[in-house]
Amino acid sequence: MYGKDRIYKKVEIIGVSPTSIEGAIETALSKAKGSLDKLSWFEVQDVRGHIGDDGKVAEYQVVIKVAFQIKD
């Protein structure tokens, strides 16, 4: 597989979750699945979040880059 002509594209996506960083990543991937080719890997760029009126984390917002192979 290595050494052959292939190209990948990376897109930057933000997923959210009320409970965890991993949850926000999965949200991003689950919705990206439909609109992009087969996903290959992701890289976390930024982790941030919104704080609710109770002073606790209301949602995690995780910025990831998702890479997928471009078909010929």
Q: Name the minimum Å distance from CB 36 to a second copy.
A: 9
Q: Name the minimum Å distance from CB 66 to a second copy.
A: 8
Binding site for a second copy (CB under 8 A): 2-16, 18-22, 25-33, 35, 38-44, 46-53, 55-60, 63, 65-67, 70, 72
If phi > 0 it is left, if psi is from -120 to 50 it is alpha, else beta; for residue 44 that is beta
The C-alpha atoms of residue 47 and residue 37 are separated, in whole angstroms, by: 25
Q: Name the minimum Å distance from CB 71 to a second copy.
A: 10
State the Cα angle at 15 between 68 and 23, rounded to 5°: 100
